[in-house]
Structure 1
Amino acid sequence: MTTASLLIPALLLDAIFGEPRWLWSRLPHPAVLMGRAVTVVDQTLNTGKHRKARGVLAIVVLVACAGWLGWVLALFGPLVEILVAAILLAQRSLCQHVEAVASSLSRGPNEGSTAVAMIVSRDTTGMTTPQIVRSAIESGAENFSDGVVAPAFWFLIGGLPGLMIYKITNTADSMIGYKTPRYRSFGWAAARLDDLLNLIPARLSALMIAVVGRVLRSWSEIVKDARRHRSPNAGWPEAAMARALRIALAGPRSYDGKMQEFPWVNGSGSRSAGAHSINKAVSVLWATWALGLALTVAIVALL
């Protein structure tokens, strides 16, 4: 069977069942296990001199182990490949987390800021409703690329080894890929490899969102905004989503108590979006997921 034919049921299983609490309350989720592996290399190698070289060694070890594990799991047959791929995709859980922010906002900004704090790293205390809405939508767009399109893309390209390598890299980047004194050198390799692996998926995500949102005619503006983003990849799905919803995203936000000025994405869009915009964003994410599923079916038909 081709990876495309295996991806179809994996996408459907993830969309239907998401992250079953009854299962992951009893067993450690693979993402948790990957996090533990990153913690081990961090504690073992992130000491002394030559932190950058040690960080390169860390990501090489993690990638090699993840690729090997993916190869071993694939030996157990298509059913195991489908189940593992479904577990490592995140469409349903992503949309549920974003929807939870809209639901919490109906009870007031304090509830909304508490909910959005679960999915963003910026300061959320004292956020206004538009700030909460922008944060939720930005997180949804970025994580659609990181958590759905990129894993599916690398599964198509490299099967379970490709998917596992992507996921361990993405996990490492989320844990050690920061420009802090501790991780500036050690996390450099993880961050750069994650940027590389997300290069195509991020742009593909933006293109698909633009098609679904019927804003493909604004592609040049989407590209312009994406290139102004501090991340080489995150700005692409955000810029497409901003235009699909006709709202402004990004802009100033606070980290660790310090306000930072970031450029607006689609700055001419509305800056007073409400909870309904979050629900519209979730609808766009599901429609884009459906487009991805249709494209996968087309690949199978062509092959």
Structure 2
Amino acid sequence: MSIPAILALAMLLDAALGEPRWLWSRLPHPAVLMGRAIDALDMRLNAGAFRRAKGVLAVAMLAVGALTIGVVLAQLGTLIVAIAAAILIAQRSLVDHVAAVAAGLRQSTEAGRSAVAMIVGRDTNGMDQATVTRAAIESASENFSDGVIAPLFWLAIAGLPGLVLYKTINTADSMIGHRTARHAQFGWAAARLDDVMNFVPARASAALIALLARPRPRWQDIASDARQHRSPNGGWPEATMARSIGVALSGPRAYAGQTQDYPFVNPAGLRRAGPAQIDAAITVLWRAWGAVLILATLAALLV
């Protein structure tokens, strides 16, 4: 089975099955296992002097482990590779979580807050409908790049070892890549490597969303907004989504009780957005997913 065929099969398996509770309630999800390894290294190495060097060592150990696991699994056959890839792709679970926010908001703002708290790290207490909506759409945009396009990209470039490596580094960044007193030094390597590995996928995600949008947003406007974003990569899919569905994203939010006055992305867009705009973002996600599936299928037929 060719790499494009594996990509297409993995995408279809993920879309059909998502993350079945009957399975992951009995077995630890690979992301959970990655998290345990990262947490163990954090507890063991993140102390005393030379924390940046220790963080580099931790990332090197994680990378060796991830590549080894990927190589071993790849020897078990293409069907195992496709199943493993489907588990590490997050289109279905992403859409389900974001759709739950829209459903919650249609019940009450409080229900929307509870749903969005499952997918964002910012403070959700006191959020109104507009801020809940922005948080959900921002998560949808950035995680489409991190959870769908980047895994597919690294699977296509470096096979299952590349995909497992990417997911491990991305998980490490989410756990220790923050600029806090504890992790500013130790998590430096994880954050920088995650930036490197997401550089192409983030811009590819933006280009894909933009090409399918009607009317099509100008790339110059997307680039201008993306440069204002706090993340060197996350701003690209977020800025494109904002302009594709006509909303303003980002803006002020709070973390651990501290308000961060981030600038708006697409500041001229709708700021009092609600469930309908979340629905529009989900439509964009599936449209972009479908385009990638078509490309992978055509490539599989031509190989």
The bucket for the TM-score relative to the shorter chain is over 0.9
The equivalences for 1:9-158 within 5 A come to 9-158=9-158
Cα 1:278/1:217, change in 2 over 3 Å: closer
1:39 and 1:84 mapped to 2: Cα distance? 23
User: What amino acid maps onto 2:227 in structure 1?
Assistant: R
Query: Cα distance, 1:2 vs. partner?
Result: 2.4
2:51 and 2:199 mapped to 1: Cα distance? 26
2:252 counterpart of 1:245: no
1:67 and 1:34 mapped to 2: Cα distance? 13
8 Å contact 1:247–1:266 — kept in the other structure? yes
8 Å contact 1:173–1:191 — kept in the other structure? yes
Query: Cα distance, 1:119 vs. partner?
Result: 0.6
User: What amino acid maps onto 2:289 in structure 1?
Assistant: W
2:187 and 2:234 mapped to 1: Cα distance? 18
The equivalences for 1:160-175 within 5 A come to 160-175=160-175
1:48 and 1:258 mapped to 2: Cα distance? 28
- Name the residue aligned to 1:159: 159
In percent, how many aligned pairs have the same letter?
55
2:290 counterpart of 1:290: yes
Query: C-alpha deviations, 1:160-217, integer Å up to 9, x for none?
Result: 1000000000000000001111100000000000000000000000111112223444
Query: Cα distance, 1:299 vs. partner?
Result: 2.6
8 Å contact 1:18–1:93 — kept in the other structure? yes
2:58 and 2:183 mapped to 1: Cα distance? 12
- Name the residue aligned to 1:226: 226
2:200 and 2:157 mapped to 1: Cα distance? 12
- Name the residue aligned to 1:280: 280
1:196 and 1:244 mapped to 2: Cα distance? 26
SS in 2 for 1:259: strand
User: What amino acid maps onto 1:67 in structure 2?
Assistant: L
- Name the residue aligned to 2:184: 184
1:276 and 1:216 mapped to 2: Cα distance? 20
> TM-score, normalised to structure 2's length?
0.98
1:65 and 1:216 mapped to 2: Cα distance? 43
- Name the residue aligned to 1:235: 235
- Name the residue aligned to 1:5: 5
Q: CA RMSD in A?
A: 1.0
SS in 1 for 2:218: helix
1:58 and 1:206 mapped to 2: Cα distance? 31
User: What amino acid maps onto 1:9 in structure 2?
Assistant: L
2:302 and 2:210 mapped to 1: Cα distance? 24
Query: C-alpha deviations, 1:36-87, integer Å up to 9, x for none?
Result: 1101111111121100000000000101110010000010001110110000
Query: Cα distance, 1:106 vs. partner?
Result: 1.1
The equivalences for 1:245-264 within 5 A come to 245-264=245-264
Query: Cα distance, 1:263 vs. partner?
Result: 1.0
8 Å contact 1:55–1:189 — kept in the other structure? yes
1:222 and 1:75 mapped to 2: Cα distance? 42
Query: Cα distance, 1:91 vs. partner?
Result: 0.4
8 Å contact 2:217–2:244 — kept in the other structure? no
User: What amino acid maps onto 1:229 in structure 2?
Assistant: H
Aligned residues: 303
User: What amino acid maps onto 2:80 in structure 1?
Assistant: V
